[in-house]
Amino acid sequence: MTPDAIKQVRASYAAITATPRQLAARFYQELFSAAPSLRPLFPGDLTELQGHFEAALALVIRNLDDVQALREPLRDLGAQHVHWGARPEDYVTARDSLVAAVGALSPAWTPALEEHWRSAVTAIIVPMLEGAAVHTALAAERLAGEHET
C-alpha cells in the first residue's frame, strides 16, 4: 500500500472508531448476514469479542506501514482460528464483510477508499491463513514423527 492509501485508511478508521464497538458490531452483523452458518461458531454474547476484534484491528491499522512486524502475531491468531472452525473461504467472507461495514459507517466512502481497505484487510488475512497452514503442517509432521518411532 502507498503511504497515501495508508493515511486514508487510518483517517477513516479513526473517524469510525471514535464510537467504540460500532465497527465490530456492524462487522459481525454483515458477517452473519452473508454467512449465517458461521453464527454458531461464536459465543452468544459478542460484547467481549467485539472489544478484542477492535483492539486487534487498531493494532494492525497502526502498523500498516510495517506489516512484517505483525506477521508472527497474525500467524498465531490464524493458528488459533483453526480451532474455532475458520475455513479459508470464510476469510474472504470476513474481509468483504469488514470492508462493507467500514463502507456503511463512512460518510465519505469512495471506490478508491474501498480498494485501499480491501488491500489493508487482505494484508491481515494472508498471514492469518499462513498461520493456519503452518499449524496444520506441524500437526502432520508430529503425526509422521510418531509413526517413525
Is there binding between residue 62 and ligand HEM (CB under 6 A)?
no
Is there binding between residue 101 and ligand HEM (CB under 6 A)?
no
Q: Which of 20, 65, 69, 85 binds ligand HEM (CB under 6 A)?
A: 85
Residue nearer to ligand HEM on the CB measure, 94 or 113: 94
Is there binding between residue 39 and ligand HEM (CB under 6 A)?
no
| Nearest approach, Cβ of residue 144 and ligand HEM (Å) | 28
User: Do 65 and 10 touch, CB atoms closer than 8 A?
Assistant: no
Residue nearer to ligand HEM on the CB measure, 109 or 122: 122
- Distance linking the first and last C-alpha atoms of the chain: 48
Q: How far is residue 3's CA from residue 22's CA, in Å, rounded to a whole number?
A: 26
Q: How far is residue 25's CA from residue 29's CA, in Å, rounded to a whole number?
A: 6
Exposure string of 89-116, with b = 16+ CB inside 10 Å and e = fewer, is ebbebbbebbbbbbbebbeeeeeebeeb
Is there binding between residue 42 and ligand HEM (CB under 6 A)?
yes
Candidates 64-72, 100-108, 117-125, 135-143; binding stretch for ligand HEM (CB under 6 A): 117-125
Q: Name the percent of the chain in helix, strand, coil, to the closest 5.
A: 85, 0, 15
Is there binding between residue 43 and ligand HEM (CB under 6 A)?
yes
Which residues are near ligand HEM by CB under 6 A? 38, 41-43, 49, 52-53, 56, 81, 84-86, 90-91, 94-95, 98, 121, 124-125
